[in-house]
Amino acid sequence: MEIERKQADLIDHYVKQASSLQGSSLPILILEATSNPSLFAFSEILAVPTIAQLEGTGQSVYLNMLRLFAYGTWSDYKKNSASLLQLVPEQVLKLKQLTVLSMAETGKVLPYDQLMQELDVTNVRELEDFLINECMYAGIVRGKLDQLRRCFEVQFAAGRDMRPGQLGNMTHILSSWLATSDNLLLSIQEKIKWADTMSELDKKQKKDYEDKVEEAKKLLS
Amino acid sequence: EEQVLIIREKVAELYESEGEWSKAAQMLSGIDLDSSMRLVDDKFKLSKCVQIARLYLEDDDSVNAEAFINKASFLVSNSRHEVLNLQYKVCYARILDLKRKFLEAALRYYDISQIEKRQIGDETIDEEALEQALSAAVTCTILAAAGPQRSRVLATLYKDERCLKLKVYPILQKVYLERILRKPEIDAFAEELKPHQKAFLPDNFTVLDRAMIEHNLLSSSKLYKNISFDELGTLLGIAPQKAEKIASRMIYEDRMRGSIDQVEAVIHFEDDTEEMQLWDQQIFGLCQSLNDILESMGNKGL
Amino acid sequence: DNSLIRQVSSLLRRLPAIESEKFQDDFL
């Protein structure tokens, strides 16, 4: 959550600016926000009315760019590059970083081949340098590089903006996690009860046994 | 003896003015400080020892300087003369530095950098001198062999606000955060080093080489489960054999956990933690994050 | 709240807490 703390002020800054700007200054703001090296969240800016009003205007291409950074990946950009603006190097870097975050949503072990394909990287050294310098050292992911198995094991990845329709899936995961946890707690309590019962039984048996021994001793004596 | 003393001091002064530091030191060394012929007070003895040591240190001659600093160490504990005491401390730190006892030197430089007074006797302590001592402390800590004590000193320096201003701060930050240092950064750092800090060690590595490779190996072990020596060599900007040699020594000295598969030419970094512990840590981290979220929900009134 | 949603999304990705073969053996 460190990353959220770091970018909270930046988000506030751009949301305030977007709310107060009009017309041609908005595209400049969008370019600035999507180039800022410390910002990885864009849905708050997207939600500002003045930004949403770019829809259908001559500047809607900037709105599409913002959407790309909020929800898209490098492959999405390549697929639609004809209808999107040319990205500057800072934007390319950020979109690739966001692509790693999106991939980290799909699984905790990311194969090098898949990463290299998604990020347009041609060799392992270049891929690992990117993951080390631009992802792990930037604080957006934490994990271990496994050269032998040619994969990146993700231990932590910052959350990306929620794509429309993803909320249901998240609610579902949370509910099943809650259910699993409840069941786990229940079964732990049952185990504890069972252990208590067994230990009671054990004690009773032990006592019966000792009584019988005493009785036998009395008989003998 | 009195006359000899005066002549020696005069000649030493002349040598000093010509930058002949060792000759000046030798000239003063001829003064018999333990003479039974006349009474020599401790302050005079201490000042001479420190003066001779400082002269030898001007020529980076730690051996001769140390001989006089050792003599001075018997006198300094009873000395009330702050200027002399400070000069003694600086000499001692520099001797440790020259002898590549970097961690001890760093602690003494750091101690000197924390002097509060700005006027001691007729000497003014300027900020620049303190900053130099602080920078020397950072440099020596970075050059010291990796280990728990070095980590503690790194943490102290990293949290010391004054370090933010130092030219060496970016390196300090990366070393403290256990991040890999790339060749351009290492070369820039090398420019700031003194000759003895770039000297070759018996194993044909320079002091800087060894410190940087060890640091980068430890940093790599935080990022990789395993890595081929070829790739490690590329990553660290050194020959794979060099990387393997230093890695094997660090593993042997138990300063890094891991194993080397020479057939495959791969190093496996071992995480100390058992899987079950790792599981506990992951669950702990999960609960921590969950708490963070609940807390921020609370702060937002949700 | 977008920030919270991102944090929850990041949190969920950390599940399951561990899934290596070695862990399965140790756990069993």
Mutation choice for A interface testing from C1, C4, C5, C27 by most A CBs within 10 A? C5
| pLDDT tens string B14-64 | 999 999 999 999 999 998 888 777 777 888 999 999 999 999 999 989 999
Q: Which residue of C has its CA nearest to B282?
A: C17
- ipTM confidence: 0.83
Whole-number pLDDT of residue A2: 79
- Would an 8 Å CB–CB cutoff place B266 in contact with chain A? yes
DSSP letters spanning chain B: -HHHHHHHHHHHHHHHHTT-HHHHHHHHHTS-TT-SSS---HHHHHHHHHHHHHHHHHTT-HHHHHHHHHHHHHHHTT---HHHHHHHHHHHHHHHHHTT-HHHHHHHHHHHHT---SEETTEE--HHHHHHHHHHHHHHHHHSPPSHHHHHHHHHHHH-GGGGGSTTHHHHHHHHTTPPPPHHHHHHHHHTS-GGGGPBPTTS-BHHHHHHHHHHHHHHHHHEEEEEHHHHHHHHTS-HHHHHHHHHHHHHTTSS-EEEETTTTEEEEPPSS-HHHHHHHHHHHHHHHHHHHHHHHHHTT-
Interface-testing mutation among B225, B264, B288, B292, with chain A (most A C-beta atoms within 10 A): B225
Distance CA B60, CA B27 (A): 17
Q: Which of A108, B115, B233 is nearest to C15 (CA)?
A: A108
Taking residues B144-171, report their average pLDDT: 91
Is A167 in Cβ contact with C13 (below 8 Å)? Answer: no
**Could you tell me which chain C residue has the CA closest to the CA of B275?**
C23
Q: A155 CB near a chain B CB, below 8 Å? A: yes
For residue C7, list chain A residues with Cβ-Cβ distance below 8 A: 1, 4, 159
DSSP summary character for residue A82? G
Residue B168 half-sphere exposure toward CB, CA atoms < 13 A: 26
pLDDT recorded at residue B158: 95
The answer to whether the CB atoms of C15 and A160 lie below 8 A apart is no
pLDDT tens string A106-151 = 888 999 999 999 999 999 999 999 999 999 999 999 999 999 999 9
What interhelical angle do A60-71 and A25-33 show, nearest 10?
Answer: 20
Q: Does the beta-carbon distance from B231 to A156 stay under 8 Å?
A: no
What does pTM read for this prediction? 0.82
Is B197:B60 a contact under the CB 8 Å cutoff?
Answer: no
More confident call, B210 vs A75 = A75
Are B225 and A128 in contact (CB < 8 Å)? no
Give the closest-approach CA distance of B282 to chain C in angstroms: 5
Interface test with A, best of B227, B261, B272 (most A CBs within 10 A): B227
Mean pLDDT of chain B: 90
Nearest to A147 among B179, B226, B282 (CB): B226
- The overall average pLDDT reported for chain A is 93
Q: What local confidence, expressed as pLDDT, does residue C22 receive?
A: 80
Output the CA–CA distances (angstroms, integers) from residue A32 to A35, A101, B169, in the order listed.
Answer: 5, 21, 29
pLDDT at A1 exceeding the cut of 70: no
pLDDT class of B142 with cuts at 50, 70, 90 = very high
Cβ contact A155–C9 (<8 Å): no
* Parallel/antiparallel/unpaired status of strands B123-124 and B119-120: antiparallel
Contact state of C8 with A170 under an 8 Å Cβ cutoff: yes
Percent of residues, chain A, with pLDDT higher than 70: 100
Q: Which of B109, B107, B73, B72 is nearest to B94 (CA)?
A: B109
Does residue A46 surpass a pLDDT of 90? Answer: yes
Q: Is A141 on the interface with C (CB under 8 A)?
A: no
**Stretch A50-72: mean pLDDT:** 93
Does the bond joining B240 to the residue before it have cis omega, within 30 degrees of 0? no
Model pLDDT for residues B82-95, shown as the tens digit of each residue: 888 989 999 999 99
B7 vs B14: CA distance, rounded Å: 11
Question: Does an H or E element contain A8, and which?
Answer: helix A2-20
pLDDT of residue B200: 85
How does DSSP classify residue A130?
I
Give residue A114's pLDDT. 96
Mutate to test the interface with C, among A135, A173, A175, A184 (most CBs of C within 10 A): A173
C2/A43 Cβ within 8 A: yes
Would you call B286 and C18 a contact, using CB atoms and an 8 Å cutoff? no
Count of CA atoms in the C-beta half-sphere (13 A) of A4: 22
pLDDT tens sequence across B237-250:
889 998 999 899 99
Pairing of strands B224-228, A141-146: parallel
pLDDT of the residue at B20: 95
Kindly list the partner chains of chain C, i.e. chains with 3 or more CB atom pairs below 8 Å: A, B
Strands (E), chain A: 109-111, 141-146, 151-157
